[in-house]
A = this chain, B = another copy of it.
Amino acid sequence: MTRRALQPADRSADAPSGVLLWRRIADDLEQSIARGTFEPGSRLPGEIEIAERFGVNRHTVRRALAALAQRGIVRAERGSGTYIERARIPYPIRSRTRFSEIVGGAGHAVGGRLMSHALEEASPDLARRLKLRPGTPLLRLERLRHADRVPLSVASTWLEAARFPGGHRVYATSNSITRMLAHFGIRNYSRKTSRITAAIAEAADAASLRIALGRPLLVVDSVDVDADGVPLLATHTRFPADRLELVVEP
C-alpha cells in the first residue's frame, strides 16, 4: 500500500506538489488551528465551504478532516459540524504526582469534590494492592476533580478504615488527598505504580464527567505508599481522554 503522488488534478489553487491532496489540506487546516485562526472549541466552516475554498471535492475535505479527527485535533458531530478540540491538559505521571500542583501549576483553576463515600470490605484485588487481608474494612472515597469548572477525573480511592478514622470528613473539608494524609501525620507519600488502560464511558462516569456515553476514557490504577514503602491508598481514576493526556518522561 505504498502511497504515491497525485499526478494530474490541476483543479485547485496550487500546483500539484507530489503530496496527496487531502494531506495538504489537512496540514493547512492543522497550521491554521495551530496559529490560532480558529478558537479552540469553535466550529469549523462546513465541509462544502472548505471544499470550495480549496477548490476540491467535498470527499477530499472529508478525508483531511478524518485524518485530523483521528489525531484528536478536531471532532466531527453529525448534523452539527466539525469542532476544534480543546488542547489536552498534560498530566505528568511521576513519583510525586499531585493533582493540584500539576494542573494548578499549569494555570488552571482546580477544584475537587467528594461525591460520596462508603465503608466496604476489601475485595481480593484491593487487598493485594494494599497488602491487607481480604475483608479488611476500607473507606472508599468517590472523588470528582475539575479544572476551570470542567470535570477532569473521577477517582475511587480506598484506604484502610482503621488507619484513617473519619477520613471522609477530613477529605470533604480539605478536598485534597495530600492535606487529608497530612491530617493523619503523613507528610510524605509517593506513587508506586501506575497501570494505564482505556475504556468506554458508561452512564455513571459519563454523567459525572459530563461527556457523552461511549467516549474514550483513560483508566489509571495506582498505589501510593508512605516513606517506608507501606501502601496507603489504592486509586482507580477515570480521565476523559479528550480533555487530558498522560505524559511520561523517563
A53 at the interface (CB under 8 A from B): no
Interface residues of A in 184-224 (CB under 8 A from B): 190-200, 202, 214-219
Query: Which of A86-94, A143-151, A226-234 touches B?
Result: A86-94
Looking at the assembled complex, report how far the CB atom of A151 sits from the nearest CB atom of chain B, in whole angstroms. Answer: 16
Closest to A249 in B: B193
Q: How far is the CA of A200 from the CA of B116 in the complex (A)?
A: 30
A123 at the interface (CB under 8 A from B): yes
Contact indicator per residue, chain A 1-29, by CB within 8 Å of chain B (1) or not (0): 11100000000000000010001001100
The residues of B that contact A236 with a CB separation of less than 8 Å are 71
The residues of B that contact A182 with a CB separation of less than 8 Å are none
A116 adjacent to B3 (CB under 8 Å)? yes
Closest to A247 in B: B195
A72 adjacent to B197 (CB under 8 Å)? yes
Interface-central residue, A23, A34, A115, A218, by most chain B CB under 10 Å: A218
Interface residues of A in 62-103 (CB under 8 A from B): 66, 70-72, 88, 90, 93-95
The residues of B that contact A19 with a CB separation of less than 8 Å are 120-121
B195 adjacent to A198 (CB under 8 Å)? no
B2 adjacent to A118 (CB under 8 Å)? yes
The residues of B that contact A121 with a CB separation of less than 8 Å are 19, 27
Contact indicator per residue, chain A 36-53, by CB within 8 Å of chain B (1) or not (0): 000000000000000000
Q: A3-B116, A30-B125 are in contact. Are A196 and B216 (CB under 8 A)?
A: no
Please give me the 5 A-B residue pairs with the lowest Cβ-Cβ distance, nearest first: A198-B241, A198-B198, A95-B250, A1-B116, A198-B216
- Listed in ascending order, the chain A residues whose CB lies under 8 Å from chain B are 1-3, 19, 23, 26-27, 30-31, 34, 66, 70-72, 88, 90, 93-95, 115-118, 120-121, 123-125, 134, 142, 190-200, 202, 214-219, 236, 241-242, 244-250
